[in-house]
């Protein structure tokens, strides 16, 4: 008997209940998974993440939601910490028809973080930082972000910068916050840009504009806000609609920086009008 016997049954059961016409791509993909012997040999995690990577449909039918959760639970039973983090994220976001439950998100993020999953530690930090399951707990948030930052997670790193900037759990230190944001920029690689560049450049823009943690620099502010706008457009277009407010802030920051720069320009030169 194949080790994926239960998976094969789950695939066939899902195909039997799925509308082939309405969900043609998903139906075709699941149909392609069976080999000559009728058994499914792909891993449950591969199937789940392939289904989740598709941008359409925007809303999954209940049969597909249950199937994806079942796939991830199969992997979780085998100790797959990435599956734990993925299921936690589904509960956190509550998109495409998945139930939103911060309690369940924290449960699965914690399971994954305890196994050393750095992205799960970062996600758990957000839950504590924003008080998703009660009052904000900045001490726990800081330690979660620190775990991610030490492993090279730049989102975790800039969230530590936020905590220094706001004096949350740690002593307020805007110079340290600025240094951390600049470290994010200087160590950022292309694969990090979509998640990191927009928010970090936005923070740098305000610090340059206000002279917080660094000397006031209106040109630096304008350049930072412009970079932030470009990357934040990319984030919103990719589906991260929660960054619309940040995008508006980047545009507003540019207007303020331009106004400040305009005030510093020398007056128009006097021109002789002739007789």
Question: Each residue of 150-207: pLDDT tens digit?
Answer: 888 999 999 999 999 999 999 999 999 999 999 999 999 888 888 899 999 999 999 9
Q: What is the mean predicted confidence (pLDDT) over 85-102?
A: 94
Please tell me the predicted confidence (pLDDT) of residue 272: 61
Q: Worst-scoring range by mean pLDDT, 14-18, 80-84, 257-261, 268-272?
A: 268-272
Please tell me the predicted confidence (pLDDT) of residue 275: 56
For residues 187, 192, 193, 199, the Cα torsion angle rounded to the nearest 10 degrees is: -80
User: What percentage of the chain reaches a pLDDT higher than 70?
Assistant: 96
Q: What is the mean predicted confidence (pLDDT) over 123-137?
A: 95
Task: Give Rg (Cα) of the chain.
Answer: 24
User: What percentage of the chain reaches a pLDDT higher than 90?
Assistant: 79
With bands split at pLDDT 50, 70 and 90, how would you rate the model's confidence at 2? very low
Q: What is the mean predicted confidence (pLDDT) over 9-24?
A: 91
Full-model pTM: 0.85
Instruction: Say whether 117 sits in a helix, a strand or coil.
Output: coil
Separation between Cα atoms, residue 65 and residue 98, nearest integer Å: 7
Give which of 142, 147, 52 is closest to 97, Cα–Cα.
52
C-alpha 181, offset from chain centre: 17
Helices (H), the chain: 5-17, 24-31, 44-53, 62-77, 81-93, 102-114, 118-129, 138-150, 154-166, 174-187, 193-210, 218-237, 244-264
For residues 240, 242, 246, 249, the Cα torsion angle rounded to the nearest 10 degrees is: 130
Separation between Cα atoms, residue 194 and residue 188, nearest integer Å: 10
Q: What is the mean predicted confidence (pLDDT) over 93-122?
A: 94
Decide if 144 contacts 113 (C-beta within 8 A). Answer: yes
Q: What is the mean predicted confidence (pLDDT) over 20-42?
A: 88
Please tell me the predicted confidence (pLDDT) of residue 3: 46
Q: Which residues contact 103 (CB under 8 A, 6 or more apart)?
A: 133
Please tell me the predicted confidence (pLDDT) of residue 37: 78
pLDDT of 231 above 70: yes
Q: Worst-scoring range by mean pLDDT, 3-7, 8-12, 33-37, 82-86?
A: 3-7
pLDDT of 36 above 90: no
């Amino acid at each position: 008997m194949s080790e994926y016997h239960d998976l094969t049954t789950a695939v066939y059961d899902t195909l039997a209940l799925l509308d082939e016409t309405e969900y043609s791509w998903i139906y075709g993909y699941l149909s392609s998974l069976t080999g000559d012997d009728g058994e499914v040999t792909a891993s449950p995690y591969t199937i789940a993440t392939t289904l989740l990577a598709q941008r359409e449909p925007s809303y999954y039918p209940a049969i597909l939601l249950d199937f994806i959760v079942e796939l991830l639970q199969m992997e979780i039973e085998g100790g797959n910490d990435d599956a734990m983090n993925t299921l936690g994220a589904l509960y956190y976001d509550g998109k495409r028809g998945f139930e939103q439950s911060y309690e369940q998100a924290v449960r699965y993020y914690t399971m994954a973080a305890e196994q050393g999953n750095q992205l799960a530690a970062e996600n758990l930090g957000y839950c504590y930082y924003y008080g998703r399951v009660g009052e904000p707990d900045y001490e726990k948030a800081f330690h979660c972000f620190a775990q991610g930052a030490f492993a090279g997670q730049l989102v975790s790193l800039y969230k530590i910068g936020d905590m220094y900037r706001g004096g949350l759990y740690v002593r307020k230190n805007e110079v340290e916050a600025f240094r951390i944001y600049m470290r994010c920029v200087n160590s950022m690689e292309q694969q990090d840009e979509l998640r990191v560049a927009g928010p970090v450049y936005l923070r740098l823009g305000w610090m340059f504009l206000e002279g917080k943690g660094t000397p006031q620099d209106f040109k630096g502010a304008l350049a930072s806000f412009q970079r932030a706008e470009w990357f934040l457009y990319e984030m919103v277009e990719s589906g991260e609609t929660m960054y619309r407010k940040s995008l508006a802030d980047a545009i507003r920051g540019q207007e303020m920086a331009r106004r400040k720069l305009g005030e510093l320009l020398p007056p128009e030169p006097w021109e002789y009008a002739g007789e």
